Structure 1
Amino acid sequence: MKKRSIFLELYYEFFHCISWPKWKELKDKTILIFFLSIFLSIFLYVIDGIFILIVKILFSL
């Protein structure tokens, strides 16, 4: 295969075959992922604190 045909195929795939999300959909999903990431980090922080507390109680006996 020639380099030219590879680049033409890449161009065609990139601009004609890929369906890009609309701006509103992209914005909504970004906000959702942002808040889910914040929630997950707080949740894991609390769970980690609980496990640390349990381990401290178990080893202090």
Structure 2
Amino acid sequence: MEKNNFFLGIYNEFFHCITWPKWEDLQKITIIVFFFSIFFSIFLYGADSFFIFLIKKLFSL
């Protein structure tokens, strides 16, 4: 396969076969990911704090 045909195939795939999401959908998904990331980081912080507290209590006996 020639390089020219390879890059032409990439171009055709990229611009004619891929369906890109609309700008509104990208904004909604970005907001969902942002808030889920914040929630998940707070949850993990709480779980980590709980286990640190539990381990300190168990080993301080």
Could you tell me the TM-score, scaled by structure 2's length? 0.98
What is the CA distance between 1:27 and its match in structure 2? 0.4
Q: Percent identity, aligned pairs only?
A: 59
Aligned length: 61
What is the CA distance between 1:3 and its match in structure 2? 0.6
Task: Could you tell me which runs of 5 or more consecutive residues in structure 1 were left unpaired when the two chains were aligned.
Answer: none
Q: Following the alignment from structure 2 to structure 1, what is the Cα–Cα distance between the partners of residues 2 and 58? A: 67
Partner of 1:16: 16
Q: Following the alignment from structure 1 to structure 2, what is the Cα–Cα distance between the partners of residues 20 and 26? A: 10
Partner of 1:53: 53
Runs of 4+ in 1 over 2 A off after TM superposition: none
RMSD across aligned positions (CA): 0.4
What is the CA distance between 1:13 and its match in structure 2? 0.2
What is the CA distance between 1:12 and its match in structure 2? 0.3
Could you tell me the TM-score, scaled by structure 1's length? 0.98
Task: Could you tell me which runs of 5 or more consecutive residues in structure 2 were left unpaired when the two chains were aligned.
Answer: none
